């Protein structure tokens, strides 16, 4: 059972103290039901009044995976792992999570296999997702409570993309609303009726008729980078949905290359760079 440890810094109810630490009402309810709370080594209720210097332990409940998940044994490229998080490099042509078209052999099932092998009593929760054809960094937490905490955390994500054409500007912002395409349930398009979307790009290299871009997302719309680059006339190489069919590549050359954020437990700055990356 995973345990959080804190020191009280002032007099307040234990419940209020835990809310201040980012523990949601839903999580606290689960802890009361299947976990445990201790103050100075003794069982405590949420109505316990803390005094400055009290030592608080929160024992998180164990978790059981959904019966729809089948642990999947592949070699994971683990970029970072501790008791709370696991960050991996996803290859292209694998789903982050099961879908109707690909119900198994997903990345989350591979992480579940890894955690089962290490006899962890919790399950992976997806923090960041990538399209099936996009490679790169994916963040998982090892408990629902941490997933809630990460949802409140600012995560800076940077991508690499190889695109068609020679991009003329060294950098630029693409600010264009994105909506579901009228003719498709999958495809998105730039539309005045869409939701605000903002992508920033930098030109890193050019060769022949292709450009290598570094991109940062300021919003998280479905297919945002692919739609925005198509919108400015530089479709991603290998992107058959927003570009053209190419036999040389079975997926778009788009990769989540760097993530950075503050660890919700240790408060350390985490900087992760994928050890494999695109280049011209």
CA gap 71, 195 in Å, rounded = 36
What are the helix (H) ranges across 90-202? 107-117, 144-151
8 A C-beta contact, residue 270 and residue 154? no
8 A C-beta contact, residue 280 and residue 163? no
Query: Can you tell me whether residue 152 is helix, strand or coil?
Result: coil
CA gap 77, 257 in Å, rounded = 14
Which residues neighbour 66 within 8 Å (Cβ) at sequence distance 6 or greater? Answer: none
- The sign one gets for the Cα dihedral 121, 127, 128, 129 is positive
What are the helix (H) ranges across 45-199? 107-117, 144-151
CA gap 45, 47 in Å, rounded = 5
CA gap 206, 218 in Å, rounded = 25
Beta bridge partners of 81: 86
The dihedral formed by the CA atoms of 157, 158, 163 and 166, expressed in degrees to the nearest 10: 140
Q: Is 138 left (phi over 0), alpha (psi -120 to 50) or beta?
A: beta
Residues labelled as active-site residues: 131
> What crossing angle do the helices spanning 144-151 and 25-34 adopt, rounded to 10°?
170
């Amino acid at each position: 059972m995973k345990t959080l440890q804190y020191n009280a810094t002032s007099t307040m109810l234990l419940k209020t103290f835990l809310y201040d630490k980012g523990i949601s009402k839903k999580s606290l309810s689960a802890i009361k039901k299947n976990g445990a709370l201790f103050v100075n080594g003794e069982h405590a209720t949420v109505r316990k009044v803390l005094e400055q210097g009290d030592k608080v332990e929160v024992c998180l409940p164990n978790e059981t995976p959904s019966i729809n998940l089948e642990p999947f044994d592949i070699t994971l490229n683990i970029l970072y792992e501790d008791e709370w998080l696991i960050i991996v490099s996803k290859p292209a042509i694998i789903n982050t999570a099961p879908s109707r078209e690909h119900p198994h052999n997903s990345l989350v099932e591979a992480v579940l296999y890894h955690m089962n092998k290490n006899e962890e009593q919790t399950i992976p929760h997806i923090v960041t997702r990538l399209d099936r054809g996009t490679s790169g960094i994916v963040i998982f937490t090892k408990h629902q409570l941490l997933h809630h905490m990460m949802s409140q955390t600012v995560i800076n994500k940077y991508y690499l993309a190889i695109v068609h054409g020679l991009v003329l500007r060294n950098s630029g912002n693409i600010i264009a609303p994105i909506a579901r395409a009228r003719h498709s349930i999958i495809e998105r398009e730039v539309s005045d009726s869409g939701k605000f979307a903002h992508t920033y790009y930098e030109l890193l290299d050019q060769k022949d008729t292709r450009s290598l871009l570094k991109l940062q997302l300021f919003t998280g719309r479905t297919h945002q980078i692919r739609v925005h680059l198509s919108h400015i006339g530089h479709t991603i190489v290998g992107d058959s949905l927003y570009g053209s069919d190419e036999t040389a590549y079975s997926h778009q050359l788009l990769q989540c290359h760097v993530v950075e954020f503050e660890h919700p437990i240790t408060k350390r700055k985490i900087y992760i760079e994928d050890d494999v990356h695109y280049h011209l």
